[in-house]
Amino acid sequence: MMKQRGHNYIFIIVALFWFAQYIYMPFFSPFLALIDVPASIIGVIAGSYGFTQMALRMPLSIFGSIKGNHKAIIGGGLVIVLLSCSMPLLSHSWVSFLLTRALAGVASSTWVSYSAYLLEDAGPMAKQRMGYLMAANTGGICISQITGTVFFNFGGLNTLFVIAIFAAAAGVVLLGFTSFTHRGAANAPRPAFTKRSLIETLTNRNLWFCSMLMLLAQWVLVSSNFTFTGIFAQEALRADALHLGLIALVFQVSSTATSILFGKFGGRDLPEKPLLISAFSLAAFCCAAITFCNLAALIVMQAIYGVAKSAIGVILFARAGRNLSDDQQLLSMGFFQSVYGIGMTVGPAVTGFVFERSGGNFALIFYALAAVAVIGAVCTAFSGPRAPRIPASGRV
């Protein structure tokens, strides 16, 4: 079994990793708009985060399946976070910010190893470990939103990048004290990577369907919350740094609370298909209603959207690798996350282009994003998952 010290440290590392990745996010796109970066370029910058994940997550999952060296992959991700957050300290050009988000995507690609390592030979402990992992993930993000809101008012965006660098450095140091050991029988070999396993994984219809639905969900999420919702709040509603931080925090808290509820009741028979349809419909409603909101209403919309985002994520992550063997789980996660990286890449780039060509029409882009969410609901209604059971917490 894994030593207790290593068992505890890995969750702290997870929290530090996502803290560093998200501390500056509520202020990132609004800052780019303030320094007159064109909306189309802002969309490309936001999409670069998904592009590098799309390109790297499948190769990393194959590498992890062959070598099983999760510690090296996780350590590499933390070091890349350091590099990512250093770029804006050298220059505030749009190229520096593009490199920042592209490298952040490279770092986030290592997420496959965090989940895969904790799932190795987990058996009946899998739900508990994934529950802890999810709590560390969302907990780190929530703390980062609070910290970012406080320190942005004192030192601006550069201060947040410096804090992120220290958080990632702390994760690297802690990783050195973490024991990564195989938790199965003492002499049990690792499952062998085979071409047959890869082909069976890549031709799994359920995996494809879940991946495409998650692509649509990420298209909407990254284009709205992580890109143009903040710009809308700043330009149309005159939101200040405190409001931007609060909008992001409410979304994360709502998402975390919903995930915890799924973790608590996930062992029961819950109707996945109606829940997915409802969640996509909620996401569509939140996007369509944004331009009618004042600041207070926008914060309420973010709380509702957090519920929808978490429900979609938990259900689809849990379903993506269902009915696949243990040695195919890492491959399925790599494929799943690579495919939805397309939505994270194309979504904000297309949204930024449309926004710029429409003369800054917020209503148009948010209605378009609502339509994408409706497509997700319709696809689920006609051919969505039928199995009723949702495992506790999923793999998010």
Instruction: Give residues with Cβ within 8 angstroms of 184, minimum separation 6.
Output: 120, 121
d(CA 251, CA 253): 6
Position with higher pLDDT, 312 vs 154:
312
- pLDDT of 387 reads 44
Position with higher pLDDT, 125 vs 90:
90
Would you say residue 247 has pLDDT above 60? yes
Q: What is the pLDDT of residues 56-71, one digit of tens each?
A: 888 887 777 676 677 8
Would you say residue 386 has pLDDT above 80? no
Position with higher pLDDT, 160 vs 58:
160
Would you say residue 127 has pLDDT above 60? no
Look at residues 241, 311, 237, 304 and name the one whose alpha carbon lies nearest to residue 271: 311
Considering 157-166, 181-190, 202-211, 243-252, the range whose residues carry the highest mean pLDDT is 157-166
Instruction: Give residues with Cβ within 8 angstroms of 201, minimum separation 6.
Output: 207, 324, 328, 331, 332, 335
- pLDDT of 395 reads 37
- pLDDT of 266 reads 52
Mean pLDDT over 227-233 rounds to: 92
Would you say residue 79 has pLDDT above 80? yes
Mean pLDDT over 147-175 rounds to: 92
Would you say residue 392 has pLDDT above 70? no
Would you say residue 108 has pLDDT above 70? yes
- Structure token pair of residue 217: 């969900």
Longest dimension (CA), the chain: 64
Which of 142-156, 186-200, 331-345 has the weakest average pLDDT? 186-200
Q: What is the pLDDT of residues 176-191, one digit of tens each?
A: 888 766 544 344 455 5
- pLDDT of 396 reads 38
Half-sphere CA count of 288, side-chain side, radius 13 A: 11
Mean pLDDT over 244-249 rounds to: 89
Q: CB atoms < 10 A from the CB of 120, how many?
A: 20
- pLDDT of 181 reads 61
d(CA 86, CA 95): 13
What topology does CATH give the domain 4-383? Growth Hormone; Chain: A; (1.20.1250)
Would you say residue 124 has pLDDT above 70? no
Q: Which helix (H) or strand (E) holds 180?
A: none
- Structure token pair of residue 53: 């994940």
d(CA 210, CA 383): 11
Look at residues 226, 209, 206, 215 and name the one whose alpha carbon lies nearest to residue 372: 215
Q: What SS3 class is residue 275?
A: helix
Can you give the three-state secondary structure of 177-202, one letter per residue?
CCCCCCCCCCCCCCCCCCHHHHHHHH
Look at residues 306, 256, 265, 250 and name the one whose alpha carbon lies nearest to residue 135: 256
Can you give the three-state secondary structure of 19-56, one letter per residue?
HHHHCCHHHHHHHHHHCCCCHHHHHHHHHHHHHHHHHH
Mean pLDDT of the chain: 83
- Taking the model in full, what pTM does it have? 0.81
Whole-Å CA distances, 254 to 43, 169, 215: 26, 29, 22
Would you say residue 312 has pLDDT above 70? yes
Would you say residue 328 has pLDDT above 90? no
